[in-house]
Amino acid sequence: METLIKTPIAVYAESTPNPATLKFVANKLLIENGATAQYLNINESEGSPLAQKLFQFPFVKGVFINANFVAITKTDVVSWEDITLELREFIKKFLEEGNVPVKEAPSAAVATDSSFKKIETVFTEHAAPQNETENKIVEVLEQYIRPAVEQDGGLITFKSFNEGIVTVTLKGACSGCPSSTITLKAGIEGLLKRMVPGVTEVVAESV
């Protein structure tokens, strides 16, 4: 009878552009089907056993789970040098014990409008595009911007488009990051202006 060999769980810490947020990357998927989950306090974390446990640390201010990493935002009362090892070992043990990080992800807006022939993929998290311009904005965010933002432990999603102004929502490490405004104006706004006719400005809200 063959013995199943479990892959050892590895977790490492990775910095983000936001000094208050650190990514803890695991060698396994933490949330299924391309979903993401952000929790700003323990009351919001009912669907995530991992987030509930993390909020029991008094210095944890926010938890963002995406793919194979959890981005943790801390309070100012401690430094990362004092808590990184503790959090890394905690997450590693949590996963090694076979616990499920997210049982039910927070509900998200889904674009399912069949009137646009170009929409071949269901974009989760984004507000549903109402016209061809909004559809193009979502496509640009998905293909060119979102992957880079996720590398930094964050998430960017489309919220609205009105009179040339694109409003996006920033989550995870991007929320409250000192450099996010520079990135938004220097990179994201410039790209959308070039690729989507009619876009004149990009503004962001953090959650």
Q: Hey, what CATH topology would domain 11-96 get? A: Ribosomal Protein S8; Chain: A, domain 1 (3.30.1370)
CA distances from 13 to 72, 73, 140 (A): 10, 13, 29
Q: How many CA atoms lie within 13 A of 104 on its CB side?
A: 5
Q: What are the structure tokens assigned to 15, written together? A: 């910095």
Residue 140 and residue 150: Cα distance in Å, rounded? 15
- Is residue 147 classed as helix, strand or coil in its secondary structure? helix
Residue pair 50/66 in contact by the 8 Å Cβ criterion: no
What pTM, to 2 d.p., does this model score?
0.59
**pLDDT tens string 14-25:** 888 788 889 899
Over its length of 207 residues, how does the chain's per-residue pLDDT go in tens digits?
445 556 688 899 988 878 888 989 989 888 877 778 888 888 888 889 999 999 999 899 889 888 888 999 898 888 999 999 999 999 999 999 999 999 887 754 333 333 333 333 333 577 788 888 888 888 888 877 777 777 666 778 888 889 888 888 877 766 655 555 556 666 778 888 888 888 888 888 765
Residue pair 166/199 in contact by the 8 Å Cβ criterion: yes
Would 11-96 and 132-206 be classified into the same CATH topology?
A: no
The domain limits of the chain are: 11-96, 132-206
Class of domain 132-206: alpha beta
